[in-house]
């Protein structure tokens, strides 16, 4: 569980860590891979969300998923891309979040992934939460924590350097 003071200060930043859907580059699940290839190349994002006609979130597509199909025995070609729809190759088993205040889950997920997809209860795509936006929150926390709380060392706690010094110089006079 996240310590209450940490969560309180992060929430006080009043910044929205969500990039809203209208600012996120997406493709439609029926788009062919030629189109998706061009979109990904243009927006320069490694991976983007795939939606259906009603804006439901369906999956994710990345450039490597497409370039793999372009590699033929004879060399690299974009010819096969026209006949394949993105829904045939997209990543479908993608965790999403619909409680945007669940900081605990967001932090845990973004340890391994670059972004987290935010949906409503009917899986309509609402936006993404990226590592970059979360880092801005952590930066805010690092610079503002002591404006709201006084951090005291835990009694009996030894920092790594104290422990190292104790080993080198002996532990005389230290509280053990
Ligand atoms: P960042 O933390 O800003 O580097 O973003 C992490 C990842 O989130 C990027 O590599 C993209 O896959 C995705 N992403 C960020 N912003 C957008 C956007 N506006 N549209 C689509 N995908 C995005």
pLDDT along the chain (176 residues), means of 10: 86 87 98 97 96 98 95 89 97 92 90 96 96 92 90 74 54 39
Interval between CA 115 and ligand 1 midpoint (Å)? 7
Task: Give the DSSP H/E element, type plus range, for residue 119.
Answer: strand 115-119
Report d(CA 62, CA 124) in Å as an integer: 21
pTM for this predicted structure: 0.83
Rounded Cα distance, 6 and 8, in Å? 5
List, in order, residues 6 or more apart from 72 with CB less than 8 Å away.
80
Measured from CB, residues less than 6 Å from any atom of ligand 1 are 19, 23-25, 45-48, 114-115, 128, 130-132
């Amino acid at each position: 569980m996240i310590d209450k003071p940490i969560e309180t200060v992060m929430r006080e930043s009043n910044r929205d860590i969500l990039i809203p859907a209208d600012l996120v580059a997406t493709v439609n699940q029926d788009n062919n891979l030629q189109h998706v290839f061009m979109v990904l190349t243009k927006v320069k994002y490694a991976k983007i969300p795939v939606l259906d006609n009603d804006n439901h979130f369906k999956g994710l597509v990345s450039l490597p998923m497409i370039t793999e199909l372009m590699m033929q025995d004879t060399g690299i070609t974009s010819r096969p891309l026209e006949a394949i729809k993105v829904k045939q190759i997209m990543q479908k088993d993608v965790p999403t979040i619909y409680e945007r205040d669940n900081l605990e889950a967001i932090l845990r997920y973004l340890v391994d992934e670059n972004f987290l997809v935010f949906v409503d209860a009917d899986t309509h795509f609402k936006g993404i939460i990226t590592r970059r936006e979360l880092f801005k929150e952590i930066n805010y926390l690092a610079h503002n924590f002591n404006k709201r709380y006084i951090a005291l060392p835990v009694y009996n706690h030894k920092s790594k350097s104290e422990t190292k010094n104790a080993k080198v110089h002996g532990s005389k006079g230290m509280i053990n």
